[in-house]
Amino acid sequence: MLNSPHPQRSASRSLPPSSFGSRLRDGALRLPLLAAMAALALIASGCRRDDAARTPTPKTAAEPERAPFDAHLTLANNAGRIDFGGAVADDATRTALDGALQTAYPGGRATGAIEVDAVARPAAWSTGLAPVLKAFEAAQGAALRFEGDRVVLSGRVDDATRASLRDAIRAAFPNAKLEGLLAEAENTPANAELQALAAAPNPDAVKLTRALNLMQVRFDEGKGSVSEASLTTVAQAAKAIAAAPPGTRLRIVGPMVPSKDSGNDSFLSKQRAEALKAQLILSGVNPAVIETRGWGQNPDGSTPDTGTPTPPAAGVPMRFELLPPQG
């Protein structure tokens, strides 16, 4: 089950433009003296009338200007129940989207909330969603996100459903950028070899490991998550691993990217190995086939008694290791 963007349906709410800044109110200035007495005082002092009235007024703190952002909508298909969430620029768009979702998934199967924020850019994808929503109904275990001119598919989805969904999106939004699992696999030697191994009966595990180590997997900068740009590549790798001979076991050693925080570098290396494993499992790999560890760790994942070694300045790429069969 995918994590829901909004586990429970809550009332949709509008966000006034001022909701991100505080407002101060100027109090009305009152003259404590009668008008006649004030006039006499002005004459005696030789001041002009308007000078006395110039009492400094507290200035209202300027509210920070918020940058526009792309309207977005995320759908998660949890066994046929659709959880949704997002933000759009106006209430009319929110109402239209909510209506489209309830029509596509009747009987209370679509739950969530879409917020209104005037800073959001117009949602070009807010009309014409019906065929896409219908195709997404079959993608149980997947998530679909519309954001600006991008449409991103992630999670677990079979080839036929993915192709059907891709066709529906292209027909409805011909100018959209298809990303994540909607993108075509990169034309690289590693991907070509993985594709061949996936189609071969009982592929060689050594060749599989070699192809996996040629594969280019990107991670989000400074984070442990696999980049959406690499999801199609990971899905191709999963097919090859799933086709490997029974008893094949692999270990993923996370990449090491040196920074000023060496302790976090080791943690991030392990986290990225775990993230890649999770994506492979989502794409159909048996969890028992994959082990993980961070760079510089012992095979069991513990830190060496001498501490984590210093990595090369250029860093260390991710690698797959072929493990001996168990038993």
Spell out the domain ranges in the chain: 72-180, 189-323
Fold equal for 72-180 and 189-323: no
| Residue showing tokens 């586990």 | 7
Provide the 8-state DSSP code for 89.
Answer: S
pLDDT digits over 167-203, tens only?
Answer: 999 999 999 999 999 998 888 999 999 999 999 988 9
Length of the chain: 327
Q: Tell me: domain 72-180, CATH 3.40.1520.20, correct?
A: yes
pLDDT reported for residue 15 = 40
pLDDT reported for residue 5 = 47
Residues 6+ apart with CB under 8 A from 202: 243, 245
**Phi/psi at 204 (5° precision):** -70, 130
Please tell me which residue, 286 or 25, carries the higher pLDDT value.
Answer: 286
Q: Tell me: domain 189-323, CATH 3.40.50.620, correct?
A: no
pLDDT reported for residue 265 = 82
pLDDT digits over 135-171, tens only?
Answer: 999 999 999 999 999 999 999 999 999 999 999 999 9
| Residue showing tokens 């991907």 | 191
**Phi/psi at 116 (5° precision):** -110, 125
Burial of 61 (0-12, 13-18, 19+ CB in 10 A): exposed
pLDDT reported for residue 6 = 45
> Of the candidates 87, 173, 75, 85, which has an alpha carbon nearest to the alpha carbon of residue 124?
173
Judge contact between 318 and 254, C-beta under 8 A: yes
pLDDT digits over 207-266, tens only?
Answer: 999 999 999 999 998 899 999 999 999 999 999 999 999 999 999 999 998 787 766 888
